[in-house]
Amino acid sequence: MLRLTQAPNLAIATLWADALAVEGIAASVQRQYLAGVAGELPPDQCLPEVWIHQPGQEASARELLYHLQHVPQRRWLCSCGELVEGGFEQCWSCGALMPR
């Protein structure tokens, strides 16, 4: 097994591990229960980690992780006049879909 990365929290670590599994890369989350001992141990040692089971898949796992962490952000003006920023494809004000 190979440690791929630390995650900021358990939810993100689980999402990353699941995304890797969907792409055929066996992954697991380690240190998921250490948040409760932060303070007794250094906080950076209590973060959850994502590990992959086959070290030969490291390059493709790192590439996928990079794309998960760097989702393109958009900014568009809705027909209702609302400026919509981020990864949203639907206006929060009127519900209109982002123009293609």
Give the CATH number for residue 6. 3.30.70
* pTM for this model (two decimals): 0.74
Tokens of 98: 């982002």
Q: Cα separation of 16 and 82, whole Å? A: 32
Residue 4's beta-bridge partner residues?
none
88 and 51 within one domain: no
The CA-atom distances, in angstroms, between 36 and each of 6, 10, 26, 65 are 17, 12, 27, 26
Q: Cα separation of 80 and 59, whole Å? A: 44
What range defines the domain where residue 53 resides?
A: 2-69
Instruction: Give start and end residues of each alpha helix (H) in 1-92.
Output: 10-22, 58-69
79 and 46 within one domain: no
93 and 79 within one domain: yes
Measured from the Cβ of residue 32, the count of other Cβ atoms closer than 10 Å reads 14
56 and 11 within one domain: yes
Total count of residues recorded for the chain: 100
Tens of pLDDT, residues 42-79:
888 889 999 999 999 999 999 999 999 988 888 999 99
26 and 60 within one domain: yes
Which carries the bigger pLDDT value, residue 58 or residue 41?
Answer: 58
